Amino acid sequence: MNELIAFEVVLVAGAELKAVRDQLKAAVEATPKKLETITPIVSFLLEQSVGVIKNHHTDTPEGEANDESKKDK
């Protein structure tokens, strides 16, 4: 009876290992496609963030004071 239980455990472990390998293979195959999708989005968000930071810097009195002090130098 113990041999039967041990055999079943080995079968289940083998099936789990195969499932994990299949998932890993699928993830590796999907990575380039996901990168193609997300790269333009990240680039757009980066450009927008830089624009907002630049606009905020010029809109604040502190930013204007810093700009004037740089011009004086």
Mean predicted confidence (pLDDT) in 17-30: 96
Cβ pair 67, 58 in contact under 8 A = yes
Residue 70 pLDDT greater than 80, yes or no: no
At residue 37, the pLDDT reads 94
C-alpha distance from residue 57 to each of 18, 40, 52, 66, 68 (Å):
55, 26, 8, 9, 13
In this predicted structure, what is the pLDDT of residue 19?
Answer: 97
Angle between helices 2-59 and 61-72 (to 10 degrees): 60
* 58 Cβ contact partners less than 8 Å away, ≥ 6 residues apart: 64, 67
51, two tokens: 């624009």
The pTM (predicted TM-score) of the whole model is: 0.48
pLDDT digits (tens, 9 = 90+) for 24-68: 999 999 999 999 999 999 999 999 999 999 888 787 766 555 556
Residue that the structure tokens 């004086």 belong to: 72
The larger pLDDT score, comparing residue 62 to residue 3, is at: 3
